[in-house]
Amino acid sequence: MKFLCCNEAIKHLTSEEKRDEAYFMSLLRIAETTCGLYYSYDRDLTLNLQRASKLAAGRVHKPLWKQADPRFVWNRNLLEELIETKLDEFITPLIQGSFQTEQFTLKDRLVRITLFSRRCNRRLGTRMWRRGANLEGATANFVETEQLVEYEGLTSSFIQVRGSIPLLWEQIVDLSYKPRPSIIEHEEMTKVVERHFHDLSQRYGDTMVIDLTDKQGDEGNLSNAFAAEMQNFPDIRYVHFDFHHICGGGNFDNLQVLYDEIEEAIQKQGYFLMNSKGEILLDQSGVVRSNCIDCLDRTNVTQSFLARKSLDSQLQRMGALSSAESISQSDIINDKFKKLWVEHGDELSLEYAGSYALKGDLVRYGRQTLPGLIKDGMSALSRYYLNNFHDGVRQDALDLISGYYTVSKSSSSPFQIIGFESAPYLPVASAIIVGGITVTTFTLSQVGRSAQHLISSIIFAGLTAGVVALVKANGKQLCSRPRLCGLI
């Protein structure tokens, strides 16, 4: 992707406008590195198979952008001027998400599995700077995942969705490893939840919510607030499953406890199936909506478990497996299926958090391994760095290209921010802390030689402690923060 500057008027900008322009151009450079973008010249990628099969026949003759579901057109804002001038042949909708496909043979017949995910653009953002829902009920990191199976002229589709807890809440980075989430008190809270689930029911039918968050601590407070709001909607089934507690120690198989609880509802929702003539044999009548805090790691493990159960049912209905058979009985097929979901989790995690997904071992092996723990540790450190020191700018880039922030003569400068500029202070503070610890350690080792070394140790230790306290007290100001837009 490349953004080209075609405006000669920038030569006549004031010095302040040039500074703003340079910042906006730096944001476009960041946007150019966006991963997980897909397009097609002849197929609408924004629609799942069930929705696409039920569209009016005349719709397929319209330009792709007119067929598309606007929720999943990543570049919708960038296309506006082309749409207004009716340049349909130049308009190519992009989606952001993931695409993986594998094939294998069953009964000497080819089976193809495709995993296709679509990220919603209505609350686009980074892991820490887009949490929860906005006032319209759109949630952060909302993703529709479709598992397509093709066998002997039959095509089947199984849909799951994920999305941030649909409350108004935030989790502002402050240099701590896990900032405390806080609920935003607002009179519209119940309406926000209602709007979110009304939208889901209109699009997918019956909705079942699986909340994978912890029941204790800060996550527990958020989970309890979510559960309390869900009591206002008795028609929507809400299931809490404390993933960390029940699957502690990397015991992936304990997800069977969850499946046993929801199996009847899952089977009732079913999946979509059509034959080679386009005749619909089965409809999926509802959807499972899964969430943890990030809707990445625990969510991906859980969705892969449900998808494996569905795949067995799909292949049994198609005649590729008998009612007593499962893909888990074939190591080759099972490994290919797990590979799909590991790569799928990594791609979605890179788009939202900037790092690979955690808990990939649980999907691939059903347990944690030492190399997996090391990889998870590296990914966690990468997330910490990006969330604290880079994602504020990345959030600005997403707000700019998505149209959430519009550049105009009347818009305020992105440099008109409250507080001090954080970037120059953090390296200095870090140097003082590291230097203070080093000098304190050295002088302490020399304490036995003279009282002067003891006094020096106390002074340097006090200086270091003071800088640490200053950094901790101003953690939020020292982190990378968005300049262009608010949180809701």
Q: What is the distance between the alpha carbons of residues 466 and 472, in angstroms, rounded to a whole number?
A: 10
**Residues 207 and 197 sit within 8 Å (Cβ to Cβ):** yes
Q: What is the distance between the alpha carbons of residues 59 and 52, in angstroms, rounded to a whole number?
A: 10
Q: What is the distance between the alpha carbons of residues 231 and 85, in angstroms, rounded to a whole number?
A: 48
Residues 389 and 448 in one domain: no
- Residue linked to tokens 């889901």: 200
In single-letter form, the type of residue at position 107 comes to: K
Quote the tokens at residue 103.
Answer: 């094939």
Closest CA to 25 of 1, 3, 10, 9: 3
**Residues 206 and 285 sit within 8 Å (Cβ to Cβ):** yes
Residue 148 inside a domain? The answer is yes
3-state helix, strand, coil split of the chain in percent (to 5) is 50, 15, 35
Q: In the predicted model, what is the mean pLDDT of residues 329-349?
A: 93
Residues 369 and 467 in one domain: no
**Residues 307 and 160 sit within 8 Å (Cβ to Cβ):** yes
Residue 172 inside a domain? The answer is yes
Residues 434 and 297 in one domain: no
In single-letter form, the type of residue at position 429 comes to: A
Query: What is the chain's alpha carbon radius of gyration, rounded to the nearest angstrom?
Result: 26
| Long-range CB pairs of 358-363, under 8 A, 24+ apart, other chains included | 358/296, 358/297, 359/250, 359/297, 359/298, 359/300, 359/301, 361/250, 362/247, 362/250, 362/252, 362/301, 363/252, 363/300, 363/301, 363/304, 363/338
Would the pLDDT of 419 be above 50?
no
Residues 354 and 442 in one domain: no
Residues 247 and 379 in one domain: yes
Beta strands 95-106 and 37-38, pairing class: antiparallel
pLDDT of res. 382: 86
pLDDT of res. 424: 47
Q: What is the distance between the alpha carbons of residues 445 and 399, in angstroms, rounded to a whole number?
A: 52
Left (φ > 0), alpha (ψ -120 to 50) or beta: where does 62 sit?
beta
Phi, psi for residue 325 in degrees, rounded to 5:
-95, 160
Residues 436 and 334 in one domain: no
Q: What is the distance between the alpha carbons of residues 484 and 138, in angstroms, rounded to a whole number?
A: 20
Residues 39 and 95 in one domain: yes
Q: In the predicted model, what is the mean pLDDT of residues 34-44?
A: 93
What is the domain count for the chain?
2
Q: In the predicted model, what is the mean pLDDT of residues 81-108?
A: 94
For every residue of 51-118, DSSP letters joined together read HHHTS-GGGGGS-HHHHS-GGG-TTHHHHHHHHHTT-GGG----EEEEEEEEEEEETTEEEEEEEEEE
| CB neighbourhood size of 438 (10 A) | 12
Residue 411 inside a domain? The answer is no
Residues 218 and 335 in one domain: yes
Left (φ > 0), alpha (ψ -120 to 50) or beta: where does 293 sit?
alpha
Residue 99 inside a domain? The answer is yes
What is the Cβ-side half-sphere exposure of residue 227, based on CA atoms within 13 angstroms?
16
Residues 258 and 396 in one domain: yes
Would the pLDDT of 341 be above 60?
yes
Quote the tokens at residue 412.
Answer: 């305020």
Q: In the predicted model, what is the mean pLDDT of residues 124-130?
A: 93
Alpha helices in 319-450 (DSSP H): 331-352, 360-364, 370-389, 391-401, 425-445
pLDDT of res. 164: 98
Residue 120 inside a domain? The answer is yes
Task: Measure the CA dihedral 23/29/33/39, to 10°.
Answer: 110
Residue 418 inside a domain? The answer is no
Residues 391 and 449 in one domain: no
Percent of the chain topping pLDDT 70: 86
Residue 5 inside a domain? The answer is no
Q: What is the distance between the alpha carbons of residues 23 and 31, in angstroms, rounded to a whole number?
A: 13
Mean of all residue pLDDT scores within the chain = 88
Q: Who has greater pLDDT, 431 or 337? A: 337
Residues 209 and 339 in one domain: yes
pLDDT of res. 429: 57
Residues 367 and 469 in one domain: no
Q: Who has greater pLDDT, 190 or 372? A: 190
Residue 315 inside a domain? The answer is yes
Q: In the predicted model, what is the mean pLDDT of residues 121-142?
A: 96
Q: What is the distance between the alpha carbons of residues 216 and 233, in angstroms, rounded to a whole number?
A: 24
Tens digit of pLDDT for each residue in 232-260? 999 999 999 999 999 987 788 899 999 99
**Residues 358 and 376 sit within 8 Å (Cβ to Cβ):** yes
DSSP 8-state symbol, 333: H
Tens digit of pLDDT for each residue in 297-325? 999 999 999 999 999 999 999 999 999 99
3-state class (DSSP) for residue 25: helix
3-state class (DSSP) for residue 151: strand
What is the Cβ-side half-sphere exposure of residue 477, based on CA atoms within 13 angstroms?
14
Beta strands 286-291 and 154-162, pairing class: parallel
Beta bridge partners of 207: 287
- The answer to whether the Cα torsion of 9, 13, 16, 18 is positive or negative is positive
Q: What is the pTM of this model?
A: 0.89
Task: Measure the CA dihedral 348/353/355/356, to 10°.
Answer: -40
Closest CA to 233 of 209, 211, 214, 210: 209
Quote the tokens at residue 13.
Answer: 């900008």
**Domain membership of residue 458 as a residue range:** 424-478
**Residues 88 and 63 sit within 8 Å (Cβ to Cβ):** yes
Would the pLDDT of 448 be above 60?
no
